[in-house]
Amino acid sequence: MNQRTAAPFFLDCDTGIDDALALAYLLASPRADLVGIGTVSGNVSAAGGARNTLDLLNLAGHPDIPVAIGAHDPQVGTFHGGAPHVHGDNGIGGVDLVPSDREPVKQTAAELLVQLAHQYAGELRLVAIGPLTNIAEALRLEPQLPQLIAEVTIMGGAALAPGNISPVAEANIANDPEAAAEVLAADWNVTLVPLDVTMTNVLEEHHRQELLATEHPVSQALGEMLGYYFGFYIDIFGRACSAMHDPLAAAIAVRGVELTLAPTVRVQVDTTHGPGRGQTVCDLRGQYAGFPEQRGARCRVVLGIGEDFAPHLLGTLQAAWLTEEQAAAPVA
């Protein structure tokens, strides 16, 4: 990795199969230097997500990146127990990874984020691909966080697309609407990567076969995990494939994909207890006239990307794995 051109990244996640893909992508991208990871309950518990993250880092040969366990419960209510029907009981599709002997750091995810935001002041990019509980907590711990963080990219919400855990709500936001409302109201510019693009850029079975055929332990593990994930998505798409929520958000954060439609608009999170709870209410009424500027709007909502994402994702992963192999090969 070329540290001179790579920006420092903090990943907040709930690892999760697509989180594992996002993590692998950030490790592989020459534009990202992953300096810390926090976990939050979502696809699995915060502690379970940290375990998966440590094991994946170990498998990927990155034992140096600190992992901090974050919030177990959302701001209102308690953790619902995860999504084993989507991600398997262990969060990574039942795949058994070699257990890492590393432990999470003693800090909470919010504390680690605040520490790294100071250490990389003005440079740190935050990618949040789970519920936003830790990020809201970090904003309360350090009210200057919006000035310290360079960029925030969030996988979450649904703008004009249907939701995935209610007709209008996406799981990351709906798992902690109050935290999401705080994060989107904070004094920073946010790029929101909603279901509108993550459900329309899918990984197909031939992509999965390509991962399974690649001689790298992370590639094989991802291919196996995706077998489980594809099983869930058969009911959604009518065929074996999967959405790519989290890796797409990671790729957008590293500017790996071109955005063709991403208006900056007002976004409000529904924190009522009505049928809209957890919805990201995006003001897209300007769509018929090319989205005129909205005063006070600070959330860029990604509605379209310019290329087929799967080849970029696989290409980035495989380029990194090939480089590793070449570096490890004995000099001829």
Residues that bind a second copy (CB under 8 A): 160-164, 166-168, 199, 235-238, 266, 268, 270-276, 279, 281-285, 287-290
Q: Give CA angle at 314 (233, 95), nearest 5°.
A: 55
136 vs 267 by CB, closer to a second copy: 267
CB nearer to a second copy: give 161 or 259: 161
Instruction: Determine how many CB atoms are found less than 10 A away from the CB of residue 206.
Output: 9
Between 111 and 170, CB nearer to a second copy: 170
Decide: residue 221, CB within 10 A, 0-12 exposed, 13-18 middle, 19+ buried: buried
Shortest distance, CB of residue 75 to a second copy, whole angstroms? 17
Q: How far is the CB of 268 from a second copy (least distance, A)?
A: 5
The bridge status of strand 241-243 relative to strand 202-204 is: antiparallel
- What's the closest the beta carbon of residue 251 comes to a second copy, in angstroms? 21
From the candidates 12, 14, 18, 270, give the one annotated as an active-site residue: 14
Select 122 or 296, whichever has its Cβ closest to a second copy: 296
> In terms of C-beta density within 10 A (0-12 exposed, 13-18 middle, 19 or more buried), how is residue 123 classed?
middle
* Active-site pick, 207, 216, 245, 312: 245
| Distance between CA atoms of residues 50 and 68, nearest Å | 7
CA–CA separation, 22 and 245 (whole Å): 9
In this complex, which beta carbon is closest to a second copy, that of residue 84 or of residue 276?
276
**Among 309, 129, 321, residue whose Cα is nearest residue 211:** 321
Q: How far apart are CA 92 and CA 222, in angstroms?
A: 9
- Complex with a second copy: residue 140 or 285, whichever CB lies closer: 285
Q: How far is the CB of 304 from a second copy (least distance, A)?
A: 15
Nearest to 14 by CA among 82, 61, 107, 77: 82
SS3 101: coil
Burial 256-286 (b: 16+ CB within 10 A, else e): bbebeebbbbbbebbbeeeebbbbbebbbee
> Is 64 one of the annotated active-site residues of the chain?
no
Query: Closest separation between CB of residue 299 and a second copy, Å?
Result: 12
User: Of 220 and 268, which CB lies nearer to a second copy in the complex structure?
Assistant: 268
Q: Token pair of 146, please?
A: 């919006």
**Amino acid making up residue 9:** F
**Nearest distance, CB of residue 297 and a second copy, angstroms:** 11
**Is 14 part of the annotated catalytic residue set?**
yes
Among candidates 107, 90, 70, which has minimal Cα distance to 17? 90
Q: Is the distance from CB of 300 to CB of 264 less than 8 angstroms?
A: yes
Shortest Å, Cβ 174 to a second copy = 13
Residues with catalytic function:
14, 245
